[in-house]
Amino acid sequence: MTDAAADIESGLRALSESFRERLAAADDEPSMRAARAEVLGKKGELTKILRGMGKVPAEKRREIGERVNAVKAEVEADFEKAVTALARRRRQADLEGRPEDLTLPGRVGTPRGHLHPLTRVKDDILDIFASLGFAIGWGPEVELEENNFTKLAFPPDHPATDMQDSFWVTVEGGEPDARVLLRTHTSNVQVREMMANEPPMAIVSGGPVYRRDDDITHSPMFHQIEGFLVDENVSFGHLKGVLTEFAQRLYRPDTPVRFRPSYFPFVEPGAEVDIGCVFCNAENGSRASCRVCKGTGWIEILGCGMVHPDVFEHCGIDSERWTGFAFGLGIERIAMLRYGIPDIRLFFENDPRFLAQF
């Protein structure tokens, strides 16, 4: 081998060795790139070595050329390996280090929550009745069939008592004849309060109730308010006065209210209360096309009536001496009307984008 070829050979060997040392000493990617540029760059060490190429005899050039390419490939491969290993070491150190990312920007303030829209509407309704002199009562969600249906004078074949409409509960070790269900309405509060207390009394209560229903206006769990008043000489006039006052405090002082005969087993006579549609009051003339009241101008908001004498008797109250009225309403329905919410299921999905709007 001629001297020129031997010089190039040894130059290449020294170069790849010293490159490997420099790579090992580099502890970040920029220094690795710099080392690579020192070797392979235009003005780098390899270029310098190749200046001796002119003196290499023609028959040797091919062999030396191949060596040069091999060394270049080796340098590139060493470089890639070192960079990858560095990234892996960094990542490993990150994973083993503290879990907080101290470079993230801080959050400004702590976001504040607020009451669920249904809780607000429930509190507003209870407040109105409390200010009219009603006390707040309570009843359980898991209830005896007796208190949910029987004492409220539901005939045994009433469609509401159908197996399909209620969630029946099996109580382990319970009394064999006591049938238990998730209450289908808050009217169980009437029974419990009347059994436990002597009249006069005026009580409201609110909470969850359960029915086997599920569509855009019905949910298997929803909320009701129940109220009733028992005293001597209570008339339908008292019922109308109290519920009209309630509706006008809940909506507007000039809200039209009407009472329509209806049937509930535990009242006689029974009625439903409608208010003038809050979405299309006559002035804007849009009644015919109103989807909420279906063009009738009226929206039903509650059921009510005079407490049936049978209910008094079932609860140990003398129906010759005492009379009273009762009413019940769905909280979701009131909230949907108040806020213009089209789908009842939105209340229970807990999507912050929905809840943040109240």
DSSP 87-128: HHHHHHHHHHS-SS-TTSPPP-S-------HHHHHHHHHHHH
Nearest residue (CB) to ligand DAH, 327 versus 347: 327
When asked if residue 301 is in the footprint of ligand DAH (CB under 6 A), the reply is no
Asked whether position 205 contacts ligand DAH by CB under 6 A, the answer is no
Q: Which is nearer to ligand DAH, 224 or 276 (CB)?
A: 224
Closest CA to 341 of 113, 117, 114: 117
Q: Do residues 183 and 140 make contact, with C-beta atoms less than 8 angstroms apart?
A: yes
- Establish if 267 lies at the interface with ligand DAH (CB under 6 A): yes
Smallest separation, CB 262 to ligand DAH (Å): 8
Q: Residue 334, interface with ligand DAH (CB under 6 A)?
A: no
Taking CB under 6 A as the criterion, the residue among 134, 149, 210, 327 binding ligand DAH is 327
Residue pair 251/279 in contact (Cβ under 8 Å)? The answer is: no
3-class DSSP state of 111:
coil
Pairwise CA distance, residues 247 & 250, whole Å: 5
Residues within window 219-258 making contact with ligand DAH, judged by CB under 6 A: 226
Q: Exactly one of 303, 317, 344, 347 binds ligand DAH (CB under 6 A); which one?
A: 303
Residue list 134-193, contact with ligand DAH (CB under 6 A): 185, 187
Pick the binder of ligand DAH from 304, 315, 331, 334 (CB under 6 A).
304
Helix orientation angle between 3-25 and 58-96, rounded to the nearest 10 degrees: 0
Q: In the complex, which residue's CB is closest to ligand DAH?
A: 328
Name the segment binding ligand DAH (CB under 6 A); options: 19-27, 79-87, 136-144, 325-333: 325-333
Binding residue (CB under 6 A) for ligand DAH from 79, 251, 264, 312: 264
Residue 206 binds to ligand DAH (criterion: CB under 6 A): no
CA atoms within 13 Å, Cβ hemisphere of 240? 10
Stretch in the footprint of ligand DAH (CB under 6 A) among 8-16, 32-40, 139-147, 298-306 = 298-306
Query: Considering all CA atoms of the chain, what is the largest pairwise distance in Å, rounded to the nearest integer?
Result: 133
CB-CB neighbours of 15 under 10 Å: 21
Q: Rounded to whole angstroms, how far apart are CA atoms 216 and 182?
A: 21
> Considering only CA atoms, which of 231, 258, 224, 257 is closest in space to residue 325?
231
Query: Which residue carries 């008043």 as its tokens?
Result: 229
Residues near ligand DAH (CB under 6 A), total: 11
Q: Which residues bind ligand DAH (CB under 6 A)?
A: 185, 187, 226, 264, 267, 303-305, 326-328
